[in-house]
Amino acid sequence: MIKIGFTGDFCPWLRVESEFKSDNWKPLFEEVKPFFDANDLNVLDLECPLTTSGSGISKTGPHIKAHPETAAILNHLNCELVATANNHFKDYGWKGMLETYEALNKHKISWFGSGANLEEASKTFYWEKDGNTVAFINITENEWTTTHDNATPGCHPIDLATVFNQIREAKKQADFVVVIAHGGHEHYELPSPRMKKWYRFFVDAGAAAVVAHHTHIISGYEVYNEAPIFYSLGNFCFDWDGLRNKPWNEGMMVRLVFEKNKPITFEMYFVAQNNDNVGLSLLKGEAKNEMLEHLYHLNAIIEDDRKLEAEFKKYAETWKAVMNTWIQPYKGKIMSSLYKRGLLPPIITKRKKLLYTNLIQCEAHRDILLHSINPNR
């Protein structure tokens, strides 16, 4: 029997980094440490580079990082392996990635899901214990960090055909294949219908489990063809100003139990992290029961394709005004706000929207569109 622990996003910055620099950080993790100590292996999603670099890449969204020495926290949590395929790991470019690798090497921590090029980033990580081999494949949705060639550093992008073949190959060499995916809709507590299809597809290809994160909140899970699929573990340790005492500050720790020729079983633990007081604590009693009840509610929706589709349509509708504002060529907060309130006319006509729709929905058109408009190419 082998026990492997998984968590969601780990970014030891802001107040956590301050406590680390003050050498007062170990008590922050005292309550959750027994979970990690009870496992044969722990795999955390390292959501940020561990770097002192100040040169961020050209991208949309925030740049995040933590001090290289915070890798010591991973040692403290009995973590020997981190997943690095995510949308922030390359925030400070190749220099930031290299500094992270150096910090991890210093603390004898392995990584997978990123590298100097696509070949390195896409490598399957094999781990053995007591005659059992577990293969780990780490993928992320395509944003500014992914690499697509053998000349560009970055993270391993999701590509269905590639992942299918990778799972099949890993299955030949390992007793179990685990896919760790970084993707989904931030702050939305359900997978999209597409995600459900994709993650089930990974199981059909031979994965024994799929573990996902990125949405920053806990999502539901299911067992499909005897394989557990966790659609989002939420945040493990990710302090953020303005989001305290919210779903952002709750996460799930999952222990998968592997035995040859048996379905994987699992245990779930829930964490509250970095609210008014910095640090992590386990949800217990009524708080834990409320979380479980909510998870069962989410699971019932995930199980029913029609309900899942209906919920996603409602969610997408909440973004309609924002998306329509983004595609208009108005610049700055004032002009965009005036358009959103109906005080400025749309510049993009319905006919132009039809063209945009076809450029994006058609795979062939989208390939050329992305190549044409990406300013980093």
Predicted local confidence at residue 193, as pLDDT:
96
pLDDT band of 375, cuts 50, 70, 90: confident
Please report, for the chain, the start and end positions of each structural domain, with discontinuous segments joined by +: 2-310, 320-373
Question: What pLDDT score was predicted for residue 363?
Answer: 76
Report residue 73's pLDDT band, with 50, 70 and 90 as the boundaries. Answer: very high
Spatial CB neighbours of 289, under 8 Å, sequence gap ≥ 6: none
Instruction: Give the phi and the psi of residue 299 in degrees, each rounded to 5.
Output: -60, -35
Confidence (pLDDT) at 322: 86
- Residue 122: predicted pLDDT: 98
Q: Where does the pLDDT of residue 305 fall: very low under 50, low under 70, confident under 90, or very high at 90 and above?
A: very high
Residue 2 main-chain phi, psi, to 5 deg: -120, 135
In CATH terms, the fold of domain 2-310 is Purple Acid Phosphatase; chain A, domain 2 (3.60.21)
- Statement: residue 332 has pLDDT above 90: no
Per-residue model confidence as pLDDT tens digits over 156-176? 999 999 999 999 999 999 999
The reported pLDDT for the residue numbered 366 is 85
Q: Say yes or no to pLDDT of 376 above 80.
A: no
Cα–Cα distance for residue pair 244/237, rounded to 1 Å: 12
Catalogue the E-assigned strands of 105-220. Answer: 110-112, 114-115, 125-129, 132-140, 154-155, 176-182, 209-213
Could you identify the residue written with the tokens 């996460």?
251
pLDDT given at position 241: 95
pLDDT at 184: 96
- State the pLDDT confidence band at 324, using cuts at 50, 70 and 90: confident
273: exposed, middle or buried (Cβ count in 10 Å: 0-12, 13-18, 19+): buried
Distance between CA atoms of residues 272 and 18, nearest Å: 19
pTM over 0.75: yes
Q: For the chain, how big is the Rg over CA atoms in Å? A: 21
Angle formed at CA 84 by CA 78 and CA 86, multiple of 5 degrees: 130
User: What are 174-225's pLDDT values in tens digits?
Assistant: 999 999 999 999 999 999 999 999 999 999 999 999 999 999 999 999 999 9
Q: pLDDT tens, 223-254?
A: 999 999 999 999 999 999 999 999 999 999 99
Predicted local confidence at residue 163, as pLDDT: 97
